[in-house]
Amino acid sequence: MKSPPSLEDLIGIEYSKLGFFREAQEKIAQLHASTLELERRRQQIQAILDGITDVMAVITPEGRITSVNRVFYEVFGGSSPIGRACYNVFRGSDRFCDPCPATIAYETNRLCRQEHILTLQNKTRHFEITASPLRDPQGRPCHILLLKRDVTLEREYQAKLNHAEKMSAVGLLAAGVAHEINNPLTAILGFVQAIRKRLPEVRDRLPQEFRSTLEEYTEIITDECARCQEIVQGLLSFSRPYTGATTAVDLNQCVQETVRLVRHRFREFPGLQYAQELDAKLPPIQGEPSQIKQLLLNLLLNALDALPNGHGAVRVRTFVRNDHEVCLEVQDTGCGIERESLGKIFAPFFTTKPVGRGTGMGLSMCYSIAQAHNASIEVESEPHKGSTFRVVFGLMP
């Protein structure tokens, strides 16, 4: 096939000799080079944007997205957001967020930082949002650059750290109080026991009714002192992390032995459905069996207490999760825990039970036992539906 005539063919060699053609050729070459350079720079900028590990979007003052980076698609899914409203893409909403960081950045012509909580694929995620104005040559904002950094893990660690710090502060306070109470308590118990011992000496000189009242009172004082001592021991063990020797512990055996202890209480709950699902292949964990039994006992007693009028189901499970976590779970269909109480249940003395029934020490002890075993306690609860307490241990080294 014949190739189309070139510029040289059309205008003749004479003109090129005059320099015109060469000039045109040079201009074309320059244009070609600058197009290549522009494309190279565009690719470089795209590579930089794609290299940013935060979600990036450029939006107009009206909130329309004009460009995004690769991470955007990884976090928010496949379909193109170009031309769509940012509030619709990020939140599925039909109006601007209140307050909207992009609007603030645009109106103030300054950078604006906010933290937003979004739900993505049914998971709550915390995003730190930085909105900065992109300015025209006159310095006026024309677009807004949004950077969204996923800080969910950081926030979780921060919350855990705060919780641990709070627990250790309260633990120290509790230990101080417990020590102070222990001495007078021992004295009261000693004296009341002395009175009981000496009662027979005066027995015949006292009227029958007065004598039995005295006996009853001393018995009550002894019982109440014993209860106080239990609380004090609880406080002390809460503040003092367990440092005893550990062995390989079979969690299934712990469950069986603990349930044997509380089985007699099951009779108080005629409407109770108790179930046990123990993984026969459960690997052992490193720990101290009596502590783990105490932890489980507290969780079980709480589950029983939560059943309205003693009716409902309690299930104890052991299982392996994610190949490396050994879980001990107590689930009930009881009253559940109100949202505002969830953050407080592990604090010493927090109780919603009537005076005389709850000390508020059970879960705080569970917390310190779990900590001593490098385990964590997960809680899921819904008011009026029930609660699940899951102790997650690591595999034995």
Residues that bind ligand ADP (CB under 6 A): 298, 302-303, 306, 332, 334-337, 345, 350-353, 358-364, 387
393 φ/ψ angles, rounded to the nearest 5 degrees: -100, 160
User: Is the separation of the CB atoms in 63 and 86 below 8 Å?
Assistant: yes
Q: How far is the CB of 360 from ligand ADP (least distance, A)?
A: 4
For ligand ADP, the closer CB: 254 or 345: 345
Residue number with the smallest Cβ distance to ligand ADP: 362
Q: How far is the CB of 367 from ligand ADP (least distance, A)?
A: 9
For ligand ADP, the closer CB: 96 or 350: 350
Cα–Cα distance between 143 and 132 in angstroms, integer? 9
Q: How far is the CB of 309 from ligand ADP (least distance, A)?
A: 14
Q: How far is the CB of 332 from ligand ADP (least distance, A)?
A: 5
For ligand ADP, the closer CB: 34 or 276: 276
Task: Tell me the residue length of the chain.
Answer: 397
Q: How far is CA 25 from CA 6, 231, 372, 396, in A?
A: 12, 95, 80, 76
User: Is the separation of the CB atoms in 354 and 287 below 8 Å?
Assistant: no
Q: Where are the beta strands (DSSP E) in 235-375?
A: 247-249, 271-278, 285-287, 311-321, 325-332
For ligand ADP, the closer CB: 294 or 387: 387
Q: How far is the CB of 166 from ligand ADP (least distance, A)?
A: 15
Cα–Cα distance between 284 and 248 in angstroms, integer? 6
Q: How far is the CB of 266 from ligand ADP (least distance, A)?
A: 16
Q: How far is the CB of 301 from ligand ADP (least distance, A)?
A: 7
For ligand ADP, the closer CB: 85 or 330: 330
For ligand ADP, the closer CB: 21 or 350: 350
Nearest to 251 by CA among 359, 390, 51: 390
Q: How far is the CB of 379 from ligand ADP (least distance, A)?
A: 8
User: Is the separation of the CB atoms in 238 and 171 below 8 Å?
Assistant: yes
Q: How far is the CB of 314 from ligand ADP (least distance, A)?
A: 9
Nearest to 378 by CA among 387, 17, 36: 387
* Residue 17 identity (one-letter amino acid): K
Cα–Cα distance between 362 and 316 in angstroms, integer? 18
Cα–Cα distance between 161 and 263 in angstroms, integer? 37
For ligand ADP, the closer CB: 218 or 318: 318
Cα–Cα distance between 172 and 236 in angstroms, integer? 9
Q: How far is CA 92 from CA 85, 87, 144, in A?
A: 10, 7, 20
- Expressed in percent and rounded to 5, the helix, strand and coil fractions of the chain are 50, 25, 25
For ligand ADP, the closer CB: 156 or 338: 338
For ligand ADP, the closer CB: 148 or 390: 390
